[in-house]
Structure 1
Amino acid sequence: MEQKDKDKKQILLRLSSSLWEELASWAQDDFRSINGQIEFLLTDSVRQRRKKDLPDTDET
């Protein structure tokens, strides 16, 4: 793991009660903390965006 991944940044995040409940339920289903679930979702979103932004190398 790179050093930049080890250094975690702390942020204040305000969520609606309904979103909090949805995330809490989802996190429990996946055996994660709510913080872990949010980090997982954000990481997955960034990976998907990177894949989408990569140029298509298939020139057929």
Structure 2
Amino acid sequence: MRFGQLQDVDLQSVEPSIRADTEGDSFRADIPETFENREAMIAAVPNYEEPYIKVPKVLNKE
């Protein structure tokens, strides 16, 4: 099936959904936790300037 053919598919009998796995409560409580191995994580990053881990830009805003 080609992308253009999707416009011709009859979906009147299909219930709308956001995702296929929306049943149940998939959210966890937003509880802050302390990361126990902070020093090992910081040692593994190429560019760390307290208190930030610096990463290359991934978006170009012009």
Do both proteins adopt the same fold according to a TM-score greater than 0.5, normalized to the shorter chain? no
Q: Provide TM-score, normalisation by structure 1.
A: 0.22
Q: Provide TM-score, normalisation by structure 2.
A: 0.22
Higher relative contact order (CA 8 A, sep 6+): 1
Greater percentage in helix: 1
Greater percentage in strand: 2
